[in-house]
Structure 1
Amino acid sequence: MRYRQLTTGTLALGVVLLIDVLRVWLPGIITIFGQAASTPAELMGAFALGWFVLALGAPAVVRRVGARPVVVVAAAALALARLALTAAPGGRTQLWLATAGLLAGLVWLVGVAAGTDRPVPGLALGFAVNAALHAVWDTVDVVWWGTWAAWLFSSVAVLLFLLGTAQPVARAGGGAAGGDGGAQAGGGGVRAWLLAGPALLLAGMVALSPALARTGMSYLFAGDGVAGSPLFGLAPVPVAVAAFLFTASTRPPRGWGRAYGPVALLVGALLFAGDRGDLLVPAVLLAAVGLGACLALTDDADRPDGTAQTGPTGRETARDGTDATAARRGYAVAVGMLVFALGAVGYYSAYDLGYPNAAVPVVVAGLVAVVAFTAQPVVGWLPGPFPPIRAAAAVTALALLAPVVADEVPVAGNRDGPPERLTVVAYNIRMGFGLDGRFDLTGLTEVVQRQRPDVVLLSEVDRAWLLNGGHDTLDVMAERLGMPYVFGPAADSVWGDAVLSRWPMDDARSLPLPAVGAPTGAQALGVTLDLSDGVRVAVVSTHLQPPPGKGPVVQARAVTDFAIRYAAGRPLVVAGDLNTEPGDEAFGQFTAAGLVDALAAARPLATSPADDPREQIDHIFVSAALTPSDPVAPRSTASDHLPVAVTVALPPR
Structure 2
Amino acid sequence: MRYRHLHTVTLGLGIVVLIDVLRVFLPSVITIFGQAATTPAELLGAFALGWFVLALAFPALLRRLGTRPVTLVAAVALAGLRLALTASPGGRAQLWLATAGLVAGLLWLAGTAAGTDRPVPGLASGLALGAVVHAGLGTYDMVWRGGWAGWAGSVVLVGLFLAGTARPAPPVEPGGGARAWLLAGPALLLTGMVALSPALAETGSSYRRGPGDGLASSAAAGDVSALFGWAVAVFLFAALARPPRGYARLLGPLALVLGAVLFAAGEPGWLGPAVLLTAAGVGACLSLAGAAAPIAAPATATAVPDPAGASDASASVEPSAPAGVAAPAVSASAGAPGRPARSSLTAVLGMLLFAVAAVGYYAAYDLGYPNAAVPVAVAGLVAVVALAPALRGGKAAPARAASWAWTGPVAAVSGLVALLATNLPAAEVAPLRPGSPPAEVRVVAYNVRMGFGLDGRFDPDGLARVVAAERPDVVLLSEVDRGWLLNGGHDTLTLLSARLRMPYVFAPAADPLWGDAVLSRFPVESARSERLAALGAPTGAQALGVTLDLGGDARLAVVATHLQPPPGREPVAQARAVAQFALGYADGRPLVVAGDLNTEPGAPAYAEFTRAGLVDAFAAARPLFTSPADDPREQIDHVLVSPGMVAGGPVAPRSTASDHLPVAVTLALPPTATG
User: Which bracket does the TM-score occupy, shorter chain normalised?
Assistant: over 0.9
2:87 partner SS: coil
Structure 2 counterpart of 1:324:
338
The answer on whether the counterparts of 1:573 and 1:620 sit within 8 Å (CA) in structure 2 is yes
CA RMSD of superposed structures (Å): 1.9
Structure 2 counterpart of 1:518:
537
1:583 partner SS: coil
Indicate which of 165, 170, 177 corresponds to 1:189: 177
Give structure 2 stretches of 5+ with no counterpart.
299-310, 317-334, 390-394
Structure 2 counterpart of 1:211:
199
Structure 1 counterpart of 2:64:
64
CA-to-aligned-CA distance 1:603-622 (integer Å, 9 cap, x gap): 00000000110000000000
Indicate which of 189, 210, 224 corresponds to 2:213: 224
Structure 2 counterpart of 1:310:
none
CA shift for structure 1 position 147: 1.1
Equivalent pairs: percent with the same residue?
Answer: 64
CA-to-aligned-CA distance 1:382-405 (integer Å, 9 cap, x gap): 576798777645533331124467
CA-to-aligned-CA distance 1:80-116 (integer Å, 9 cap, x gap): 0101111142001001111011011111111011111
1:531 partner SS: strand
Indicate which of 642, 646, 650 corresponds to 2:661: 642
Equivalent-residue separation in structure 2 for 1:628 and 1:585 (angstroms): 24
Structure 2 counterpart of 1:453:
472
AA at the equivalent of 2:267: R
Equivalent-residue separation in structure 1 for 2:287 and 2:528 (angstroms): 44
Please state if 1:121 is matched with 2:112. no
Structure 2 counterpart of 1:472:
491
CA shift for structure 1 position 254: 1.1
The answer on whether the counterparts of 2:137 and 2:423 sit within 8 Å (CA) in structure 1 is no
CA-to-aligned-CA distance 1:57-79 (integer Å, 9 cap, x gap): 00011112121011101101100
2:551 partner SS: coil
Structure 1 residues 96 and 143, CA gap change in structure 2 (3 angstroms): same
Structure 1 residues 327 and 51, CA gap change in structure 2 (3 angstroms): same
Structure 1 residues 297 and 523, CA gap change in structure 2 (3 angstroms): same
Structure 1 residues 211 and 635, CA gap change in structure 2 (3 angstroms): same
Equivalent-residue separation in structure 1 for 2:267 and 2:138 (angstroms): 23
Map 1:230-249 to 2 at 5 A: 230-232=219-221, 233-235=223-225, 236-249=227-240
2:598 partner SS: coil
Map 1:147-158 to 2 at 5 A: 147-158=147-158
Structure 1 residues 527 and 194, CA gap change in structure 2 (3 angstroms): same
CA-to-aligned-CA distance 1:556-615 (integer Å, 9 cap, x gap): 000000000000000000000000001101111111111100011110000000011000
CA-to-aligned-CA distance 1:327-358 (integer Å, 9 cap, x gap): 11111111111000000011000011110000
1:621 partner SS: strand
Equivalent-residue separation in structure 1 for 2:484 and 2:405 (angstroms): 31
The answer on whether the counterparts of 1:445 and 1:480 sit within 8 Å (CA) in structure 2 is yes
Equivalent-residue separation in structure 1 for 2:55 and 2:404 (angstroms): 33
AA at the equivalent of 2:521: R
CA-to-aligned-CA distance 1:224-279 (integer Å, 9 cap, x gap): 11111111242211110011001111112211100110000000000000001111
Structure 2 counterpart of 1:415:
434
Q: How many residues of Structure 1 are paired with residues of Structure 2 in the alignment?
A: 634
1:491 partner SS: strand
Please state if 1:108 is matched with 2:108. yes
Equivalent-residue separation in structure 2 for 1:283 and 1:400 (angstroms): 18
Structure 1 residues 230 and 383, CA gap change in structure 2 (3 angstroms): closer
Please state if 1:596 is matched with 2:597. no
1:86 partner SS: helix
TM-score normalized with structure 1 length: 0.94
2:143 partner SS: helix
Equivalent-residue separation in structure 1 for 2:604 and 2:428 (angstroms): 39
CA shift for structure 1 position 440: 1.2
The answer on whether the counterparts of 2:240 and 2:402 sit within 8 Å (CA) in structure 1 is no
AA at the equivalent of 2:10: T
Equivalent-residue separation in structure 2 for 1:163 and 1:378 (angstroms): 34
The answer on whether the counterparts of 2:131 and 2:198 sit within 8 Å (CA) in structure 1 is yes
CA-to-aligned-CA distance 1:469-506 (integer Å, 9 cap, x gap): 00000011000000000001111111010000000113
Structure 2 counterpart of 1:175:
none
Whichever of the two has the greater Rg, that structure is: 2
Please state if 1:507 is matched with 2:526. yes
Equivalent-residue separation in structure 1 for 2:428 and 2:273 (angstroms): 23
Structure 2 counterpart of 1:348:
362
AA at the equivalent of 2:291: D
CA shift for structure 1 position 521: 0.5
Map 1:527-546 to 2 at 5 A: 527-546=546-565
1:419 partner SS: coil
TM-score normalized with structure 2 length: 0.91
Please state if 1:257 is matched with 2:276. no
Indicate which of 451, 466, 480 corresponds to 1:432: 451
Structure 2 counterpart of 1:284:
275
